[in-house]
Structure 1
């Protein structure tokens, strides 16, 4: 059994019964569902506030010659400068909320598209855009250009870089030995690239080989992340929404005594792959899963909308958190 690292910020769970059903030696879950408390419950609270800090620190440095620390910005001693700064983001919920949190924390205004009620509670203006995520990205970029705002994004382009993936790399876990498979949801690619790069020092020349096929609902992959994923990832799997809900239920149920996990829709996709592999030898063989496999899943978000979670899973996030079993560490 692999070594388990305990952290106050996020937790591992050992899924002893699940691993038996999945034809594997061990299944570990890196649980981010309480990152910065269940109110946020997402790894994205690592990236967006850091990006806001960098923007504001640069502005203060430009105007005063001093570069403030995060603690100094939180005292609002540079409020006269930061209050005139507006940041915006394209988001389906999480990134917008975390950006609003960072803006509130450091004292600037914010514009985001997201889970509107919670985001508005943090002081943001919410602009809804018809269409998919790509349309929101284009609108946010244009709004920022027209209004002289700062555009914050988890994706990038040749003429636009960002700080979010740098800080999201904190989530990578370098202390688990003997892991053979790591599953991470793809999205625009930034978090997957950060995690895989974090594991690279362990993999070195033994990294998996293959040509990944990139399919993401966000439509706008991060070019820098794609280079890392093309280099390190073995492959990509597309997961239907309906199966993702089944995986949310499996994780929440605690599966015969395993720890219960509150997982959002996207993060549950990794469990979907294991569930399919448990009943399909073709999938198992393609993924190289066998009785010697030790699998690490990343639950990168919890119930970022508790009402949606309860409607899909049939129980509240609070009830799942209360039912965490004896395998939590």
Structure 2
């Protein structure tokens, strides 16, 4: 028997029902989204236009910035527009696409962060073999594996939700389409779907967090053998990675490691990993990374100096 779907459109309750609060939120989130977009584009531009792209660490940082742009773009523009709209609606197909985007780019980001931790482990613990282990072909294969992993996680989740019948009500107590709020609206028993969804998303979030925790513990323990300068440099790089991991995984684990229940705080927690983290990543990686800062300065000086020279020659 096919799925009965009387619902062609969903209505979001959004972040707040207070118009004044919504206006303030629209300004704040517009700023955060734009800052994240520009910051990540700047990192990608710097990595591509400098020689940093040859280094595996910056190869993955470039992809992390790209995924951050896509990840925040799946939810932020719609949410900002909805904050100024009387009625916040989304078509069923649009909702499913948003669910796909959030989980595909979210799980891809988790996998990239794991690989960046592995990259730091090889660089610090096996420096002589670093360029052999992390050569360009290997990096490309890893990125392909990451994309396939993210896709598999998302397809499992999406196939669960697509099988659910929605026959009303159609009001989602959230600002984007996610699995937990959608399971609550289905007009059938969603216990099995809820368990599978928690196991799937929870494994990605918690599994990623545990792997990263072990990786950085091994790295920090191995730093005792390094020189003071080597230790300082490694701690600076790892420090920025650990900051991103804590900021991203804290909220993710809170949302996805629970059974199929929703809390009032979920929406504010979700804001953190869908909008705030993609904006903080460029700040954390550039402010704590001398190499990226120097590359940006050189790039900027080259552009400005080149412009001055061209104008002078005219």
TM-score by length of 1: 0.25
TM-score by length of 2: 0.26
More helix by share: 2
More strand by share: 1
Decide which structure has the larger Cα Rg and report it: 2
Question: Comparing both chains, which one has the higher relative contact order based on Cα–Cα distances under 8 Å and sequence gaps of 6 or more?
Answer: 2
